[in-house]
Amino acid sequence: MNVKFNQKTHILEIEYQFRDVEEPNLFRNIYPYNEVPRLVFNHRIVPMNVPERLYITDTTFRDGQQSRSPYTVQQIVRIYDYLHELDNGSGVILHTEFFVYSKQDKEAVLKCLERNYDFPKVTAWIRAKKEDFEIVKSLGIKETGILVSCSDYHIFKKLKMTRSQAMKQYLEIVSAALEAEIIPRCHFEDITRADFYGFVLPFINELIKLSKEAKLPVKIRACDTLGLGSPIPGIALPRSVPQIIYGIVNYGEVPSEWLEWHGHNDFYKAVINSTMAWLYGASMVNTSLLGIGERTGNTPLEAMVMEYIQIRGSADGMNIAVISEIAEYFKKEIGYEIPPMTPFVGENFNATRAGIHADGLMKDEEIYNIFDTGKILGRPPKVIIDAYSGIAGIVIWINRYFKDNGIDIQVDKKDPRIQKVKEWVDNQYENGRNTSISDEELKEVVNRIFGI
């Protein structure tokens, strides 16, 4: 067993050795496949190691397009503009990535490059083929993602290679990128099912050697491809997000600003895993707008904006209200149906139906609103009228709906006209209605009763 002096921790540590194996290590004790995956503990707790700068990166135009019909060039450019407006010169929304293969892909890239924005930077995503670097180079892109699958599931089953064959091919591809003076961002696909000490760390060590020789960064994206990562302290590798990130930074000696986390939401952990990646040493977390991505989706960009603010105590210049504009654009211009209960962007995220909640909002909206959503997101809390909204709900709806539409009506619970509106609502549900009352319906009823 070899030891070496770690320049980052300044102590002697075990040097993890590359292990070539004849049979793939599929971690069947954790991933039996014919059963739900298991959470196995090794009780190893690693310290938090928050980087000096935190960044959000975007894959809306890459992973976000793999789960839906492609965006038009015009839509891509407008969304890119929105990302720039959200960043607002802060540099927090660091980069976004594009496919570069089709005529439409290339046109979108060129039009976004013409914007000449500092942030988010335009980067690419390409296959692990040398000829693809020529495409990236011809477009003038300075950084590209490269797929380097790292679990034995992918190396043995998909690529039909051994670990040594896969590493050799990957290193040749990264070398080609560096020779082309393009910063490679190595996407460690399926890292939460990979042999961390036997393949991941030794491979990273070789990448760092190439980086030093070329005097260019070689960035690492740790990809939780199936959303199997866990934030729970003491969970064993390969599922432990804290141990993966801490290990890459401290044993792989990868600078935090070169390290990125890419998560999926298969087990409802995309957001918390991304936050843990930040807390344990990765500067960047990869996201997509509205969480749109393969299967259950990626980490939502808007969620990580809110996580950033909670961690840092400030938006650091980001224009948060743009999140609501983005959601409206997706709904109205792209025709994307946002699930109503989606935090921050869904129709119901700061809406209430319960009469007791509405009564609280009427007294002081802070009682039932997570923060001043009107000031921060341009979306004041609202009430949806149904069988349980009560008098208070109707009062709030009238006062806010008509104010928003330029009509000065302010009523209270004692106004006799409110009781007539309440009777109409009650009658709807007594006669079998089981849907909420639309704004248009209620507007018509209020107009008639109030004589507007």
Give residues with Cβ within 8 angstroms of 313, minimum separation 6.
none
Q: Note the pLDDT of residue 362.
A: 67
Shared domain check, 245 and 300: yes
Question: End of a domain among 304, 334, 364?
Answer: 334
What tokens were used for 242?
Answer: 């804290």
* Whether residue 369 sits in one domain with residue 295: no
Which residue is associated with the tokens 């330029």?
406
| Whether residue 321 sits in one domain with residue 251 | yes
User: Of the residues 334, 366, 386, which one is the last residue of a structural domain?
Assistant: 334
Is 388 found in the same domain as 249? no
Residue 354, pLDDT score: 67
Question: Which residues make Cβ contacts (< 8 Å) with residue 171, sequence separation at least 6?
Answer: 206, 207, 210
Q: What CATH number should be reported for the domain holding residue 157? A: 3.20.20.70
Contacts of 115 (CB under 8 A, 6+ apart): 77, 80, 81, 84
Position 120 scores a pLDDT of 98
* 13: in domain: no
Evaluate whether residue 320 is within a structural domain: yes
Q: Is residue 107 part of a domain?
A: yes
pTM of the predicted protein model: 0.92
308 shares its domain with 358: no
Q: Based on the structure, what is the number of domains in the chain?
A: 2
> Are 261 and 169 members of one domain?
yes
Q: What is the pairing mode between strands 219-224 and 183-188?
A: parallel
Residue 361 sits in which domain range?
352-450
List the pLDDT tens digit at each of the 452 positions of the chain. Answer: 678 888 777 888 877 889 999 999 999 999 999 999 999 999 999 999 999 999 999 999 999 998 888 999 999 999 999 999 999 999 999 999 999 999 999 999 999 999 999 999 999 999 888 888 889 999 999 999 999 999 999 999 999 999 999 999 999 999 999 998 999 999 999 999 999 999 999 999 999 999 999 999 999 999 999 999 999 999 999 999 999 999 999 999 999 999 999 999 999 999 999 999 999 999 999 999 999 999 999 999 999 999 999 999 999 999 999 999 999 999 999 999 999 999 999 988 988 766 666 666 767 788 878 899 999 999 888 888 888 888 888 888 888 877 777 777 788 888 889 899 999 999 999 999 888 888 889 889 988 998 77
**Among the three residues 334, 365, 385, which one is the final residue of a domain in this structure?**
334
What pLDDT does 200 receive? 98
188 shares a domain with 300: yes
pLDDT of residue 355: 60
- For 32, 151, 220, 317, 334, the CA distances from 158, given in Å and listed in that order, are 19, 10, 21, 44, 35
d(CA 419, CA 201): 69
